[in-house]
Copies of this chain bind each other. A is one copy, B any other.
Amino acid sequence: MKFSEVIQQLGVSSAHTSLSDRPDLDPEVAGVNAIDTAQADQLSFVEGAKFAAQVQTTAAKALILPKGKVLQQAALERDIAWVEAADPKLMFAQTLAMFYQPFQPAPEIHPTAIIHPTAKIGDAVYIGPHVVIQADATIGNQVCIHPNVVIYPDVEIGDRTILHANCTIHERTRIGADCVIHSGAVIGAEGFGFVPTVEGWYKMQQSGYVVLEDGVEVGCNSTVDRPAVGNTRIGRQTKLDNLVHIGHGCQIGFGCAFAAQVGLAGGVEVGNRAILAGQVGVANNARIGDGAIASSKTGVHGTVEPGQVVSGYPCVDHKIYLKSSAIYSRLPEMYQTLKQLQKRIEALED
């Protein structure tokens, strides 16, 4: 489609585009791409100063630019059409959604799927080959269950939720609407509960269940365990990346994002919109406030206050961490200096 049509579909006024000055500059846009690899018929975006120089070199003939005359002028000089965005990355995502339709199979219940007669199946669902759905499961409308998924008894899956291939949903799990469970993820398996005794570990049965509220995504091969009693809950719109572990009984708010390989031990409470970067670990019963951030590899014990940014292990406030970690590599020098000062003081004391 033409650049001007893209602008129209985005709902942007042409006043915020190069069309106001140069209505003749209306290139064909066949798709989107990164700025360094885009071709002439692809739209791209510039986010921040780091990519600004690429306006001079990109082959793209249409760009999403941040506010500011300099880049817009530079684009025009190279005959590149532009649209201004308060958040270029967001507008790029919106444009990408115009051109890319993710793979979704048409509704069908494959004859090799094994579905228990007591399971309730909604309308317009896709249930792929070799899927297993056990007793008393409830599957909403337009749900998409890719091949080789296994659903244990008494599970509920909300409307439009997607379960990718080879994932496993254990007994009593409640998954909301519009969730995505990626391949290999395991939801609702037994929490790790063993009581030490003189004779060895005594297994604590895990009679609870997992709740994923609407709009939750769980990454590939991630695991969300159920607790001994009560539930493990992940709030609406919270997103987990791959290989994340959520222990039994965790209570996680809405709108959080946990990057790959994050691990939460049992009973952790996380507020709303918290962000845990890659490989963060959180100890038993820790509490993380609303909007808090833990940088990558941080080890969290105790309490993180709302809005606080923490780093390191054991974690400290990020600003302290930056200073302390900068000095870490000077420790040998400090140690030598200390030894010398000691001698010089001894000399002075004599």
A interface residue numbers (CB < 8 A to B): 32-34, 37, 87, 89-90, 92-94, 96-97, 99-100, 102-103, 110, 112, 114, 128-130, 132, 146-148, 150, 152-153, 164-168, 170-171, 180, 182-184, 186, 189-190, 192-195, 197, 200-207, 215, 219-221, 223, 225, 228-230, 237, 239, 241-243, 245, 247, 254-255, 257, 259-261, 263, 265, 278-279, 281, 283, 296-297, 299, 312-314, 316, 320-321, 323-325, 327-332, 334-335, 337-338, 341-342, 344-345, 348-349
Contacts and interface: CB of A to CB of B under 8 A. Distances in A.
Contact of A344 (B197, B215, B349): B349
A281 B297 contact: yes
A245 B261 CA distance: 8
Contact of A189 (B129, B164, B170): B164
Contact of A328 (B205, B206, B278, B316): B316
Contacts of A260: 192, 223, 245, 247, 263, 265
A99 B341 CA distance: 65
Given A34-B230, A183-B168, A237 B325 contact: no
Given A114-B129, A192-B242, A332 B341 contact: no
A152 B165 contact: yes
A33 B96 contact: no
Contacts of A190: 102, 180, 182
Contact of A96 (B37, B132, B229, B297): B229
Contacts of A230: 33-34, 37
A18 to B, nearest CB: 22
Number of copies of this kind of chain in the complex: 3
Contact of A186 (B220, B229, B342): B220
A200 B279 contact: no
A257 B201 contact: yes
B171 A168 contact: no
A249 to B, nearest CB: 8
Contacts of A153: 103
Given A168-B183, A221-B223, A279 B278 contact: no
9 contacts: A103-B152, A128-B132, A221-B243, A242-B245, A297-B313, A320-B329, A327-B331, A338-B338, A348-B349
A349 B11 CA distance: 74
A100 B341 contact: no
Contacts of A334: 327, 334-335, 338
A282 B92 CA distance: 26
A128 to B, nearest CB: 7
A272 to B, nearest CB: 10
B166 A203 contact: no
A168 B165 contact: yes
